[in-house]
Amino acid sequence: MTTLRKKLLPGGAAALAGAALLLGTGLVRPASAADLPHAPVAYFASGSDLTGRQTPVDIADTTCRNLTEPARSAVNLTDADIKVYYNRDCRTGLPDRPNDWYFALGSLGWANFPFPALSYQVVRH
């Protein structure tokens, strides 16, 4: 008859395994994460991974805003959310396909968009 036993790591080995796990999670972040600002800021970027020309977002302005040029990514390190639209004038839907789709860029986040972003609206809580 065989008995099953739990195998426990000694204290030092458990701490070392935990440290390795934490180090591993730091390596998984996207390449551009090292370039993220360390202050409250929100902007759209013309290229993927926050590259290219930047268009700042006025977090206090909650009206619909059209972007001066299409954006492929954005960062939002503020306490507000941003609704991102793939059509001008904050119209929902995919490009030239009306429906209720928009991209929700939450507080303290960044994203690459599947389609070029053309307008946005800040949502204050």
pLDDT digits (tens, 9 = 90+) for 48-90: 999 999 999 999 999 999 999 999 999 999 999 999 999 999 9
Helix, strand, coil percentages in the chain from 3-state DSSP, rounded to 5: 20, 35, 40
Nearest to 43 by CA among 77, 88, 68, 87: 77
Hey, what amino acid is at 42?
Answer: A
pLDDT tens figures, 87-119: 999 999 998 788 999 999 999 999 999 999 999
Question: Which of 48, 45, 112, 106 lies closest to 78, judged by CA?
Answer: 106
